[in-house]
Structure 1
Amino acid sequence: MKKLALVVAMGLASLNANADVIAGLYNTGAGLSAGQQDTNYALSSATTTVGSFGYVAANGSFPIGPWLENTATSSWLTPTQNQGDSLDPTADGVYTWSTTFDLTGFNASTASFSAQFAADNSAIAYLNGTQIGTANGYREWSAFSATSSNFVAGINTLTFVLTNQALATGNPTGLRVEFISSDVTAVAAVPEPSEYALMIAGLGLMGLIARRKNAA
């Protein structure tokens, strides 16, 4: 009887969804060396000529010093290979960094994440077009997060719109993003008809045994 109950319980449990971290959320520069391009973050700009992706900045060189120092967890990305390039001398520069992740096979209404970012000079974070945070400096982290209402089924797009204030000289720019936690629930697999039949038969047998015991 106990073994049968265990089998049925395991069958029912298999119908439940499983929680998991959100795959595809990458910290900027994660696992890359200085000078490499981070292809997880696409880059575009309406004001400055840039490549398709940014470059990982190096500790020990300007502008890291005023900027938060890189760690093994995340690094700064800059729009040009020379991280100290002075950009946007006469007008504010606008740089759009974006990354995507796929929630196919997961319940988007259960998703969430918390993270932090920094920017020179400032940035606004958007998830699927909804603003979820702002960063106003490069010396300290700013928190941002997303809850279930911000996510969609399938492909999700996380965008950081960065503004580099105009300055004649010594005006680099960069973005740094670091995820702290994330969670999402997998969509429960649809059982095969034979699995349903087995569980129903097991429940029926348990009921029959219980009735016989009561009758005895």
Structure 2
Amino acid sequence: MKRFFGALAAAAVMAAPITVQAQAPVDPTVSVVITDNIFPTGGTGYAQNGGGYSANFTVNFPAPVGDRTFTDYLIWCIDAGRGVTLNQPTNFALYTLADFAATNLGSANGHNPDLADMTRLASLQAALAAGWNNPGINQADYQGSIWSEFDGYANYGNDANLGSIIAGDPYFNVSEYYVLWNGTNQTFLTKISEPSSALLAFAGMGAFLVAVRRRRAS
């Protein structure tokens, strides 16, 4: 079994249990099986693995949507202080990005990101995903900026010698962004389309992942 770490786990820094949060998750128990670190990155200011992972999970959305199953779906690492285990079912709570920002949950270092933090962070993740094959995108800088934003740092890894992180877009549309959080394992960000456009999104993502896997295998 492989194990990837965003950073050394901070066992002494534990977030409050989900059950005591005023802001309810969309689904408090989502069993997630993370299958691959499909888009691996380093992160400026950090010495860990990050990037995008493919995962299988089912979310029980409120009526009338109900259960929706996601297969080989992209989820993105945002917490440098917690790790992830591949091919092992792990329970998470799924929050909308805005609802997560309204809780007192946060990174392993104790930082509680607000909506402005999470909005900028989501814009950085979107830019990283959209520009994955663009040589003008420094993946390590984007991942380092994502981790630093979630940790509450203005410089990469809180190291002033490394300079300021990429700022992110404070006006980015986060209406379809969700957070998978359990306070022990890696925290993930993912974009889930509205049900009306889900089939198109799944078809496009499936073809994208197949193409990536073929390139990696060649």
Indicate the structure (1 or 2) with the bigger Cα radius of gyration.
1
TM-score, normalised via structure 2 length: 0.26
TM-score between both structures, scaled by the size of structure 1: 0.26
